[in-house]
Structure 1
């Protein structure tokens, strides 16, 4: 596994005693599309709905996202090796535009951990906690908004561990989604006061 990503300083990093260091770097579509394609087409990523995507489609999608202001894609490294994808977006402009009552300070979030034959216990929970810390490290962010597929029960449980409160089901063009919110105080309460 290549570790060429860890030369630049990360946007955010956190070391977990039992797991090692997680770090966020800007995704580079041209460099990282092959990696993302292998993750998206893995059965574990079925809820990302890109099982049939071609490498070219993945590259073009992330180049287009990179060109806009509404989205930011980040590559997550675990001890220097690519291990997860994070997307932060403006839910009032993309993904949820017109589908909910947006408030100032809202930020949308998606994340995907890479498929692994030897998943580390607690890894996904550490990733989502670190991602939430990163999002709330921006003082302008007041609330994180997620819209996972209603059938993705594993992620609903995971979201609740960091303070997400389910609101209601919304219909998006590609899925029925469970709209959920996590305010700064919700995350602090779920994380034992660390945010």
Structure 2
């Protein structure tokens, strides 16, 4: 099994880490996640295992896109994709800047949700992306109907800048600079500290 390439410890929930997706070895796991009814916005509801393997093999072969399996306390729990927006379907559809990095994330479906878990996953993803000094702004394009993720994104500093028509959806193009993320993170830490007083 591939070693973790990034990890962080959440003060409340524990250890999160990511490792590269292994397209063959992870097919069964990822197929179960992306075809689950709760993963409708991942747009792979009807995918067969072979489709999932081909999708992640193509990502693995793409120098401008990679996929990472997220672990919580050592167990698979989420999926992250990061990509260069200049080499994606966003190319020419927004005002790109040097230092932009695109991102998708998916939390594994579970029967036993943990309060604050999805926020901790997104925080892990943002920390991963901003651990690379060259990355100055994260770009996302969630489906306009995905209200839960819009609220979550806003909580870590994302701002909607436009609505874009992509081949398979209408999306809220949203961005979060390093400064916006740090300000949002500081606000969360301050609120937590005040709650303890």
Instruction: State the TM-score bracket (shorter-chain normalisation).
Output: over 0.9
Shift of 1:18: 2.4
Match of 1:185 in 2: 179
DSSP 3-state at the match of 1:140: coil
Superposed structure 1 runs of 4+ greater than 2 Å apart = none
Give the TM-score normalised by structure 1. 0.93
Shift of 1:92: 0.9
Q: Does 1:59 align with 2:53?
A: yes
Match of 2:193 in 1: none
Match of 1:91 in 2: 85
Match of 2:127 in 1: 133
Match of 1:154 in 2: 148
1:143-181 deviation per Cα after TM superposition (whole angstroms, max 9, x unaligned): 000000000000000001110011111000000000000
Please provide the CA RMSD for this pair. 1.2
Tell me the distance in 1 between the aligned counterparts of 2:95 and 2:162: 12
Tell me the distance in 2 between the aligned counterparts of 1:20 and 1:32: 24
Show structure 1 runs of 5+ residues with no match: none
1:77-109 deviation per Cα after TM superposition (whole angstroms, max 9, x unaligned): 011110000000001111311211211000000
Match of 1:142 in 2: 136
Match of 1:111 in 2: 105
Match of 1:43 in 2: 37
Q: Does 1:121 align with 2:115?
A: yes
Task: Kindly tell me the number of residue pairs found equivalent between the two proteins.
Answer: 188
Show structure 2 runs of 5+ residues with no match: 190-197
Q: Does 1:80 align with 2:52?
A: no
Match of 1:19 in 2: 13
Tell me the distance in 1 between the aligned counterparts of 2:152 and 2:40: 17
Shift of 1:9: 3.8
Tell me the distance in 1 between the aligned counterparts of 2:89 and 2:100: 13
16-25 or 66-75: bigger deviation: 16-25
